[in-house]
Amino acid sequence: MQIGGVQKTSLLDYPDKISAIVFTQGCNFRCGYCHNPELIVMKKEPAWTCAGFFEFLNSRKGKLDGVVITGGEPCMQVGLIDFIKEIKNLGFLVKLDTNGTFPSVLKNALPLIDYIAMDIKAPLYKYKEITQLSIDIEQIKESIDIIMNSGIDYEFRTTVVKSQLSIEDFKAIGELIRGARKYYIQKFVPSKILDKTLMSEKTYSDNEFEEIINILFRYINKIVLR
């Protein structure tokens, strides 16, 4: 596991739980709005060793409920499964964040994790445009299917840059994840991002988001704007 950083305490990233966050190095996407651009490239020297992280985690028993593994893209990590097993052995819950391009890894991890969050970057026909990567979109569809039929708690989420996603695009997203339990719409906030040309980009107005949410309610049970 190549650990790019650790946030020792979070009240927001794991619903209703107090968690630590592990940021893994390396991502196969190049989304312009990525707010962890320093994690995209796999570096030789990890910010934390696994041994150091587990020592820290052992000292937080009784104070933390779980661990969020995010990135980057955690499913690129060769040691992900063993890393999750060790966290579970210490008695903590595990939430995994993923972009859905590694369904076979996801399938192996699911029996070990307690909550999963998958980014839906766009309708399938816009994935290359948003991620700057040619991918097999069947992998995305397979990961969605695996998650929705896993029996564990989950969420899908989309970061919204107005110029990248039209209101019509959300109909296609709704169709893609029809019947999902939870879908979070995340307002784009220009801050530390990969593509600096997006710093002047706008997100939708509250009235426009209300229109989007009304569209999505045809397909999805619970929608939250954050």
| b/e burial code for range 26-58 (CB count within 10 A of at least 16 → b) | bbebebbbbebbbbbeeeeebbbebeebbeebe
Residue 46: is its pLDDT beyond 90? Answer: no
Q: Looking at residues 144-154, what average pLDDT do you find?
A: 97
Number of neighbours of residue 142 by Cβ within 10 angstroms? 18
Q: State the pLDDT at residue 43.
A: 78
Sign of the C-alpha dihedral computed for residues 174, 176, 179 and 180 taken in this order? negative
Across-strand partners of 224?
184
Instruction: Provide the pLDDT confidence category of residue 104 given band limits of 50, 70 and 90.
Output: very high
Q: State the pLDDT at residue 32.
A: 92
Name the pairing type of β-strands 93-98 and 19-24: unpaired
Contact 38, 3 (CB under 8 A): no
Can you name the CATH fold of 3-225? Answer: TIM Barrel (3.20.20)
More reliable by pLDDT, 134 or 43? 134
pTM over 0.85: yes
Instruction: Provide the pLDDT confidence category of residue 142 given band limits of 50, 70 and 90.
Output: very high
